[in-house]
Structures are given as structure tokens and as C-alpha cells.
Chains A and B, each alone.
Chain A
Amino acid sequence: MLDADIRLRLDRLNLDAVLSVQAGEVVALLGPNGAGKSTVLRALSGLLRLDGGKVELDGTVLEEPAKHIRVAPEKRPVGLMFQEYLLFPHLSAVENVAFGLRARGVDRRAARERAAAALERLGVAKVSEARPGNMSGGQQQRVAMARAMVTEPKLLLLDEPLAALDVSTKTDVRRQLRATLRESQAANVMVTHDLLDAVALADRMFVIEDGGIAQSGTPAEVTARPKSRYVADLVGVNLLRGTARGTALELDGGGRLVTGQEMSGQVLALIAPHDVSVSRDRPDGESSPNVWPGQIGAVDLMGDRVRVRVDGTPTITAEVTPAAVDALNLDAGGQLWASAPPTSIHSYPP
């Protein structure tokens, strides 16, 4: 089990993050670029020094600056899979995978056997003798995974494991990663920028923004109640802030809405785009108390749906069908009326 309180300063990043991970658990770490995700992994692995805090793994303190305790990276039972894989170009796949075992004293033959078995399990036995330069991206990814896992680390760190793969390979590899992680006894921390990875693979997720943990919970919890713009954008929902008095909501940016819950004080309000309607003419007053005008800000095609951003008070994104785009002549721009029924506005504490 991992207990980490990471405090360090790197260039312009001030990292202060607390996380804990159980053995066998998969925790995802998400966040925008520069938030500090990879830095967390490097700190956990020991490649970066902490300025303050503590890292404790299965009862052993790996680092605690205040007590001058620091275990060197090569002595930590930690496996790290890098975003750019960092396979040794001068060694074959099986030699790459055996590297960690041999570095820890396993004799050459045993190391080779275990490495070959690991490659077999991940389905890349056929490139055992090949050099990284002669492998496809998907094969490299699996060799890199095998290499990080074969030493049976107590903490497995994966830095954007699927980022470098193309869409078709990604799905297959994600499935395989899921199966592999299921069998793992280690505490697993996975950095990703793809919410789909978190949803598919993680038991819990942490959102890092600007060096701090902004939100944590199961993927379902986090996506249901995003607490920051970043997560809201990731999930694809509208997120507004304001002060609630009963069902009345005064938005911070101006405007007033009627929500579906009785709340009081500062709240976040989530509105799914498909719950927002738009029209050229002002809708009749009774059907919804939440009606306001705005200018068409952007029209984006996303698969078979279209998202329309209406810049008004507040600015809101609505989802419409392509047919509606024609019917409303949205491409011409101009004024639109947005409306959202109170039941579609979910408010919750920040």
C-alpha cells in the first residue's frame, strides 16, 4: 500500500499532492499539461527528490526529507513505465525485459526465461530477439510494460501508457492492460490525459491541477460531479458556479437560473449539453424559467452530433443534431435563445 505526501518545487511548478493506493488497486492521475502528473511519478520512483513530505510503501519509508531518509531509485521496489517507453536501443526485447532482473542479481539464464515468459503473456513473444528500432509502436508498448512489471514491483507507475498508440491499436492494448492490471498485486498509479483510460481501467482517480489535487473519487463520482473546468471539459458538460438560495441560483458570472435541488451557499451546477435546447425565437415563458439569449460563438461537429456554444449570460454549450443545424441555419451566426429545464441542472457543493 502506498502512502504519499509529495511536496516539491520544480521550475515553476509547486507540487503538493497527497495520495494513497492499496495493493491491487489501480489509481488514475489526470490533469492538464504542466499540472504535475509526470512529476508525481518521478518523485514516487525516486528520480526526483522531495522537498518535503513523505513516501511510504508497504510500511517502509522510502523518502522523508525532514528525517533525512532517502532510498535511491535503484533500491526501491518500484516499476516505472515511461511515456516514451525508453527501451534500450542496443538490446533486444528479451534483453530489455531481463535488464531489471539481472540488475537485481538474478542470473542470466533465469532472467532470460522470466523475461521470455513475460513477453509471451503480453503476446509479443515473436519480437523477443528484435531491437526496439524494428518493432511497431504497439509492440514497443507491450515490451515496455513487460519490462516494468517483470520485477514484480510493489508499486507500478505507468506514465501515459497508451498515449503514443494509434486509435485502432489503443483499444486492443487497453483491453490487454486491463487484464494485466487485474492480475497485478502491486499498487498501480497510471497517469493519463484520456478520461476513457481512467473510466476503463481505474478503480479511483485523482485530478491534479496546478500542482494540487483538485478532485478525487471513483471515475463515476468524478464524472458525475466535476469540480473544475478541466474535468467538466474532459467529461464534456457545462459547469457553472454560483450562490444558491433554495432552488434559485445566482451565477457568479451573472444571470439567474432555477435548479432542481434546494441548496444554499456556494455551489457548482452541471448541465449536460443534450439537456440544453436552442431556438431562434424566444420560447414561450411557461415551459422553462431558464431562458436567455446569446450569440452563436462556435459550432463544432463531434461525430454525429453538433455542439453549439452560445455566448451569453451565462455562456452555455448545447448539443443538437446535424438536421437542426440546417433548420436553424446556425452557420450564419446571430442570436439564439437557450433554455434548460430546472431538472436538468444538478447543483452540488464545490
Chain B
Amino acid sequence: MSRSGQRFNPVISGLAAIAALFFILPLTGLVIRAPWSSMTKTITSSGSLDALWLTLIASLATTALALIFGFPLAWLLARVQFRGKALVRGLTTLPMVLPPVVGGIALLLAYGRRGLVGEPLYSAVGFSLPFTTPGVIVAESFVAMPFFVITLESGLSSMNTRLEDAARSLGASRLTVFRRVTLPLIAPSLLAGTVLAWSRAVGEFGATITFAGNLPGVTQTAPLAIYISQSSGKIDEAIALSLVLVVVSLAVMIGTRNRSRSA
């Protein structure tokens, strides 16, 4: 007979320990095998700095795009009834389950130089997205925005919209209702969705290399640089860059952890 609280269950604890180890060991391996003596030199090499800078810019731009375009989409899906809604929701979340390289190919067929939209664009202004930094942003947005939309939509629909009625009945204009009632109540899922989209964008590889290509300083983001390094035997460079990404991601995760739980 136990008092309140979960009793120690060896099966659950054992399996949980295995799961935890599964994730901790590779990260520990990274730290242990890192080339600490030459770390500063490796990270500050122009190739690495280019890759990190590009990753930063592209992921932030992707997150901004997700906010600007994803917010209205999430709102629409959560609040408005319209025909074909299930289809729209399915299509906008498809990239989440698609292998990223498939996304890259699909992007080429739509926005590549001979693509459905890309061709008229190229004929008109001579610009095409592949091989450009905007192209990287497009590839990252394709895979990352759905995460934002889904998370935010769930927050919006789980919110009690009658609270907005209450605010209006108290004299608040629609803008005030949004600012003082809706936003604070969806803030946790908004934050969670933003972080999710950002980190997905940082780690994006398959769609980027397929759609935007690989050129240092222009389209070679950190994941691409890491892949190139490791595949040509430059393991040290790969590990060094990997560690930077791990540290940054960890910092973001820990920093937003408490605030992205529901209020």
C-alpha cells in the first residue's frame, strides 16, 4: 500500500533510463571527441564563419516569414469555417511528414528556373531562386513553417473564444481584444511554434542542398558545411561546427522552456 505519489517501478525506470542514455551518449561523444585545442581556429575559419552566419540569417528570416504568413494561416484554420479546410490543413502540414529532399525536388518543380512559377518569374525579371540565399530561405520555410502553423493553430483553437466576447462587451475594440486578451492567452503556443520553426530551419539540409545548392557564403549553411566536411574526411571541422549548433540550440531550448508551457 503506497501513499500518494508514484511508486518506483523498475520496468518504467529501466526503459526510461535506456531512452535517456540513447540521447545523451551521442551528445557526450561529440563533446569528448571535439578538437578542443584547435577549436577556436576551426570555428573562426572563414568557411565556418560564413556557414554559421548564413545559418543565422536564413533561419531568422525563415522564422520571420513564418510569423508573417503562418499566423494568418493558423488563424484561418482555427477560427474560420470554409470549404476545403481539411484539404488546406493537410497540404500545409504535408511538409512535416515529407522527407526533406522530396520537398527540395517539389520546390524545384515549382520555383526552379523551369518551374510552374519559376519560369514566368525568370522570363520576366531574369531571377531564379535556386543557388541564391533567398532560395535557402524558401527551402527552410517550406519545411519549417508547417511546424509553426500547427502549433499556433492548436493554441488558438484551445483558447476560449468567449473571453474575447467578454472583452468586447467591456468596450474593447477588436485590436485591443487581440492585444490584451488573445495574444497573452496564445503566447505560450506562439513562442513554442516560433522556437520549433526556428530550430527546424537551422537544421534543414535535404531541401536546402537539393533546391538551393551548395556554395560557401551563399547557400552553404552550417548543416551543409558539416556534411561536406565529414564526407571528405575533415571530421574535426565537422565536429567543431556541430558543437556550435548543439550549444546554440540547447541554449534556446533551455531559455524558452518554462515560458512555452501553458500559462
A and B touch in the complex (CB under 8 A): yes
Instruction: Report if A88-B168 is in contact (Cβ < 8 Å); known contacts: A103-B173, A103-B176.
Output: no
Q: Does A350 contact B (CB under 8 A)?
A: no
Residues 70-109 of A contacting B (Cβ, < 8 Å): 72-75, 78-80, 82, 84, 86, 88-90, 99-100, 103-104
When the two chains form their complex, are residues A90 and B166 in contact, meaning their CB atoms are under 8 A apart?
no
Instruction: Report if A90-B169 is in contact (Cβ < 8 Å); known contacts: A82-B162, A99-B180, A103-B176.
Output: no
Tell me which of A100, A103, A104 has the highest count of chain B C-beta atoms within 10 A of its own C-beta. Answer: A103
Residues 212-232 of B contacting A (Cβ, < 8 Å): none
When the two chains form their complex, are residues B184 and A151 in contact, meaning their CB atoms are under 8 A apart?
no
Q: How far is the CB of A32 from chain B (nearest CB, A)?
A: 23
Instruction: Report if A90-B162 is in contact (Cβ < 8 Å); known contacts: A74-B172, A100-B171.
Output: no
Tell me which of A47, A74, A80 has the highest count of chain B C-beta atoms within 10 A of its own C-beta. Answer: A74
Nearest B residue to A42 by beta-carbon distance? B165
Q: Does A45 contact B (CB under 8 A)?
A: yes
Q: Does A147 contact B (CB under 8 A)?
A: yes
Q: Does B245 contact A (CB under 8 A)?
A: no
B residues in contact with A46, CB < 8 Å: 168-169
A100 vs B176: C-alpha distance in the bound complex, in angstroms?
11
Nearest B residue to A90 by beta-carbon distance? B184
Query: How many residues on the A side are at the interface (Cβ–Cβ under 8 A)?
Result: 23
Instruction: Report if A82-B166 is in contact (Cβ < 8 Å); known contacts: A88-B181, A89-B263, A99-B180.
Output: yes
Q: Does B163 contact A (CB under 8 A)?
A: yes
Q: Does B170 contact A (CB under 8 A)?
A: yes
Query: How many residues on the B side are at the interface (Cβ–Cβ under 8 A)?
Result: 19
A197 vs B171: C-alpha distance in the bound complex, in angstroms?
28
A100 vs B180: C-alpha distance in the bound complex, in angstroms?
11
A88 vs B162: C-alpha distance in the bound complex, in angstroms?
10
Q: Does B185 contact A (CB under 8 A)?
A: yes
Name 20 interchain pairs, CB-CB below 8 A, sorted by A: A46-B168, A46-B169, A47-B168, A73-B165, A74-B170, A74-B171, A78-B169, A84-B162, A86-B166, A88-B166, A89-B163, A90-B263, A99-B180, A100-B170, A100-B172, A103-B173, A103-B176, A103-B180, A147-B170, A151-B171
Q: Which residues of B contact A (CB under 8 A)?
A: 160, 162-163, 165-174, 176, 180-181, 184-185, 263
Q: Which residues of A contact B (CB under 8 A)?
A: 45-47, 72-75, 78-80, 82, 84, 86, 88-90, 99-100, 103-104, 147-148, 151
Other 12 A-B pairs with CB < 8 A, given A99-B167, A99-B180, A103-B176: A47-B165, A47-B169, A74-B171, A78-B169, A79-B170, A82-B166, A89-B163, A90-B185, A90-B263, A99-B170, A103-B170, A103-B172
